A and B are shown apart, each in its own frame.
Chain A
Amino acid sequence: MNGWMGRIVMVDLGGHSQKEIPVDGETRRRFLGGRGLGTKLYSDLCPVPIDPFAAANALLFMTGPLTGTVMTSGRYEVVSRSPLTGTICDSSSGGSFGAALKGAGLDGLVVTGRAERPVYLYVHDGIVEVRDASAIWGLDTQKTQKAVQELTSAKASVACIGPAGENRVLFAAIMNDKDRAAGRGGMGAIMGAKNLKAIAALGGQATAIADADGYKAMAARLDRAVDKNPVTGKSLQVLGTSVLVNVINAHGMFPTRNFRGGVFNDAEGTSGEKIAESLLQRQSACYKCPIGCGRTTRTKSRNGEGPEYETVWAFGAHLGISDLTAITEANYACNELGLDTITMGSTIGCAMELHESGALKETMLWGDAARLAGWVEDTAYGRGFGAELALGSKRLAAKYGRPELAMQVKGMEIPAYDPRGAQGMALSYATSSRGGCHMRGYMIMPEILGHPVFLDRFVTAGKPEIVALIQDISAVVDSAVLCRFLQFAMGISTLSEMLRTVTGLDFGDEELLAIGRRIYTLERLYNNRAGFTRSDDTLPPRFFNEEFQTGSSRHRVVRLDEMLDGYYAVRGWDTQGSPTKATLAALGL
């Protein structure tokens, strides 16, 4: 078989059994792999929404047909129901774990059940070994990865949880290849609930390529395009993702102090430009990636990975903190303990506003850089007020009677782009299948960065069509599986050519878009079953009612009501946001 390995293994940790999940060619063609096939398999295995921490819940680690082939193809996708949001969730991570898992002979690994004692999985040569992890339970993610490599192979790629996942923090991440994170949605907490500490994958098998000559020519063209593109060939390499700090701040939509402001006066001090001239030691790159957007950094006392843009913001402007060292060390702590930096920072910011409003007695002060790393650690271990931070902002704000102070959609915290500054991004947040996430449909690309075309960020007309299109394309890229940054240098036709040369199947652009639409709709069906309706496709009231008084997004509010009906119409969903029978029939769902 070309492109896919043709093998997905399901391991029941409670029943001590394994079996292969058969996937036919038609299903592969309709869902590809990664996020798409993962969502399809999850929906089949757990059609009725259940407690994410229940033993019966399934947790899928998925690769795609392009995994282990072209540049950036070391990624993998983790799919399950999020304990943070209750939605379907896929969480994506870079590094090389995806390539290793596929190279070990699997397109995907499905984990169900709960082990009686801590275990880790060792995947190699097409088989999955379940091994005792009692000795490594409790270790941080860095020590865990080293220990598991010592127990398996120095060449193994390891994905694992730290104390946060063990303690079921609702936004615990899965960390792999040192500091790459499947960060969002709390997939690490599900591993913790299953007593699954780590997965080691030892690759070796190459993905079979259908058209070797075509593949080589396509890969060479991609190399040139990525090299020539100023974003992938230069900016991301030199300045990393934090180059956006000044960009978004200049647009007056850099969320400051829990989204009460859109301009952070100390942005310069936390910018990518500043990091490059202060903490940066070198770039770091994922599997076969010529871009290398990662930052290996050093503070006076420590070294590690990051911070990247979202983290700079979450621990910086969002909290009124401009101490780059404190931000960076909080990032290191999240990496080691296994926490999503966005939800961590956003929840601390929520607590700060709760305290300022008088609703929360616990002293949480804007700009308190000295306590930042301590809050992170307390969260991972559930110590003191950390046990409440571990719930995420939605539950925290509700507990203290001020639900409107949580900057979240469907329970997931909104990242570093204030939706009042970009109407399309606002619609994308509101309709994202996993909640307040920028990655479902990154409207910042056209509305701010001008890729592939520039759109007026304050206009709502035409945005429903474009949001749906970008959501669909993103679902395809997440299912192929590749890094989104390639989208700066390639269009959907390039992706279609990649898939053709690798799999031998001629996916035209239209078929790929239909696949994206199918995946997005399947995610919606699950969310509908989990109780999400039109009333959940919204944003915190702040974005509709409060205007900034300064900056270039001043006097703007989100005009979701001008877009939501149009979006449902484009999607073929009814007025309550449920896919119609005709839509399901057209998509073969």
Chain B
Amino acid sequence: MAGAIEVKFYSLLRRRLGKASLALEADGLTVLELLLLAEKRAGQSFLDELLDRERGLLTGTMILVNGENVRLKQGLETRVGAGDTVDLFSPAGGG
């Protein structure tokens, strides 16, 4: 969708929300603002899978903006805009 940020839900988030993605008509948000907006649009809470009570990233949470982990950018303050894809993974492991 033109002018939208695509938010993709994986792992436990997808199971909780029952959907794989949301297209949010938005621009110029921080990742945290995007998460709050996505939670609102999804109509169901899910941030507890990604963030701690102080709204910091949980150990193991992976948030990728266009494939790049926000921990290598400005964390939850990383800015996202229309056309970006944001992948949300709750902590996961395997191997």
Contacts and interface: CB of A to CB of B under 8 A. Distances in A.
Nearest to A456: B72
24 contacts: A231-B91, A231-B92, A234-B12, A238-B15, A240-B94, A241-B93, A241-B94, A243-B11, A244-B93, A250-B62, A250-B89, A273-B14, A273-B15, A293-B94, A449-B62, A450-B60, A450-B61, A450-B91, A451-B59, A451-B60, A454-B71, A456-B72, A552-B67, A552-B68
Contacts of B11: 235, 239, 243, 246-247, 272-273
Interface string A524-552: 00000000000000000000000000011
Interface in B54-90: 58-62, 64, 66-69, 71-72, 87, 89-90
Contacts of A551: 67
Contacts of B72: 456
B90 A252 contact: no
B14 A230 contact: no
B43 interface: no
A445 B94 CA distance: 9
A231 B93 contact: yes
A252 B67 contact: yes
Contacts of B89: 246-247, 250
Contact of B67 (A230, A250, A451): A250
Contact-residue size bin, chain B (C-beta under 8 Å from the other chain): 20 to 34
B94 A250 contact: no
A310 B95 CA distance: 7
Contact of B95 (A442, A452, A454, A552): A442
Contact of B90 (A232, A235, A452): A235
Contacts of B62: 247, 250, 448-450
A551 B67 CA distance: 7
B64 A242 contact: no
Interface of B: 10-12, 14-15, 20, 49, 58-62, 64, 66-69, 71-72, 87, 89-95
**Helix, strand, loop or mixed for chain A's interface?**
helix
A439 B95 contact: yes
B62 to A, nearest CB: 7
Given A276-B15, A451-B59, A451-B60, A444 B95 contact: yes
Nearest to B9: A273
A231 B11 CA distance: 11
B12 A235 contact: yes
Contacts of A484: 95
Nearest to A243: B92
B95 A230 contact: no
A222 B67 CA distance: 35
